[in-house]
Amino acid sequence: MSRRHRSGDGSKGGRRVRVEFRSNRAARRRQKGLPAHLVPGVDDTDKLATPLQETIAPKGELSRKRTVVETTEAGAAGTMEGTVVAVRGLVAEVDAMDGQRYACTVRRVLRVRRIHERHPVAVGDRVRFAPTPVKGSAPPEGVIWSVLPRRTQLCRASEREAHLIAANVDQVIVVASAAQPPLKPSLIDRYLVSASAGMMNAVVCINKMDLDTSGGAVEVLERYRRIGYPVVAASVVTGAGIEELRQHLAGRSSVIAGQSGVGKSSLLNAIQPGLRLRVGDVCAESGKGRHTTTTAQLLKLDIGGYVVDTPGIRAFELAMVPVGELEAHFVEFVDRVAECKFADCTHIHEAGCAIRAAVERGEIHAARYQSYVRLFKERCGLVPAEEYEDAAYSRR
């Protein structure tokens, strides 16, 4: 709570405004009608992400309005808005409107409020911070006062607990390869479920199309295109699909996910040579000289937008999706589940199941259904989690 509020007078520093209580909590709608309540953790995050300057209006019975002190006026401690582009220990690097990058600490109250999260702020977070004076030509510094509500969250599961890797990521570019390593559509499906659970859109990209001698990869891409995903057939060797990928990335915040060896680094390098190199320079620039781990960072693209770069990005997976909500993340199931005979149909064994009927008619691809069954059984603990070659790597 700000000092201003404790003194009980909000009228001096900021302007009191009445806002619709539900306006920033209204159910969010996805393109394909997935209700926001199906996304675990979102409500909770909303609560945590409520800007600190906000207070509930003291009068009125269960008023749907709350009083907010606008912080844009002079006297509101001169805070600025920015985007967290890297987190190193307790220091968050924030790109501000003024074009500068600030090394920010996080107010203690904010750390306490977010005690259940390993990091009170994540890359991609929009924050409000107060710049602090620095000596001489030292890089700019500041203190983060509040984190604005998150639109999306990219989580990584570890030991049954989900960790937020990045916030406000618009889309996941799911990268697979036509060969070397072999194409595994079931892995694509896992990433698509995770993207959907985190409220992110997804693009399916198959790289190394130059190695697709049998045409199998073309068929797989067609499978996803048919159910509404944007698809890209790429090859770093022939240059195919690179421009298309660039168009998808431009002006958005994206994460490139996929098994190791499919060519994620090669694709990024084709899109913007030296992208990662330059970020290395930036890290050196912040000059903190401490050996703190970078949890994730946002790489700024010349074409506008950011790419999330994280060592453990491959591990972002399904911990947050309860078994009963799995069906909602298979886009081609969503419109059909209402036709199942039983309202609580799991689509595994029940009579009168519209999903299985659609699989038999060839309207839902059998492999997609198999992915659903596999994930369903995993979530129920009936089968162990599917392991991929780089699973050990991803657990690091």
Residues of this chain that bind Zn ion (CB under 5 A): 340, 345, 347, 353, 355
Count the site residues for ligand GDP by CB under 6 A: 14
**236 touches ligand GDP by CB under 6 A:** yes
Residues 6+ positions from 335 with CB-CB distance below 8 Å: none
**266, interface contact from Zn ion, ligand GDP, none, CB < 5-8 Å by kind:** ligand GDP
**67, interface contact from Zn ion, ligand GDP, none, CB < 5-8 Å by kind:** none
49 vs 262, beta carbon nearer ligand GDP: 262
Please provide the size of the chain in residues. 396
Name the one residue in this structure whose structure tokens are 């081609």.
Answer: 332
Among 79, 194, 207, 394, binds ligand GDP (CB under 6 A): 207
Residue type, 208: K
Nearest to 126 by CA among 143, 146, 106: 146
Helix or strand or coil: residue 265?
A: helix
**128, interface contact from Zn ion, ligand GDP, none, CB < 5-8 Å by kind:** none
Nearest to 21 by CA among 67, 53, 61: 67
Among 157, 211, 250, 275, binds ligand GDP (CB under 6 A): 211
79 vs 207, beta carbon nearer ligand GDP: 207
Question: Taking the complex as a whole, how short is the minimal distance between the CB of residue 181 and ligand GDP, in angstroms?
Answer: 9
91 vs 262, beta carbon nearer ligand GDP: 262
Question: Taking the complex as a whole, how short is the minimal distance between the CB of residue 37 and ligand GDP, in angstroms?
Answer: 35
Q: Which stretch binds ligand GDP (CB under 6 A): 7-15, 50-58, 181-189, 231-239?
A: 231-239
**264 touches ligand GDP by CB under 6 A:** yes
Q: List b or e across 37-76, with b for residues whose CB sees 16 or more CB atoms inside 10 angstroms.
A: ebbbbbeebeebbbbbbbbeeeeeeeeeebbbbebeeeeb
Among 168, 235, 253, 254, binds ligand GDP (CB under 6 A): 235
**105, interface contact from Zn ion, ligand GDP, none, CB < 5-8 Å by kind:** none
Q: Which stretch binds ligand GDP (CB under 6 A): 118-126, 166-174, 208-216, 244-252?
A: 208-216
For Cα atoms 186, 269, 193, give the angle at the middle one, nearest 5 degrees.
Answer: 25
351 and 51 Cβ atoms separated by less than 8 Å: no
**287 touches ligand GDP by CB under 6 A:** no
Report the Cα 71 to chain-centroid distance in Å.
27
- Torsion of Cα atoms, 279 then 285 then 288 then 290, to 10°: 50
For Cα atoms 151, 63, 150, give the angle at the middle one, nearest 5 degrees.
Answer: 10
Is the sign of the CA dihedral 375, 190, 32, 204 positive or negative? negative
**208, interface contact from Zn ion, ligand GDP, none, CB < 5-8 Å by kind:** ligand GDP
Among 75, 182, 251, 261, binds ligand GDP (CB under 6 A): 261
207 vs 310, beta carbon nearer ligand GDP: 207
Distances (CA, A) of 17 to 11, 12, 50, 126, 324: 10, 13, 16, 22, 41
133 vs 215, beta carbon nearer ligand GDP: 215
Binding interface with ligand GDP (CB under 6 A): 207-208, 210-211, 235-237, 260-266
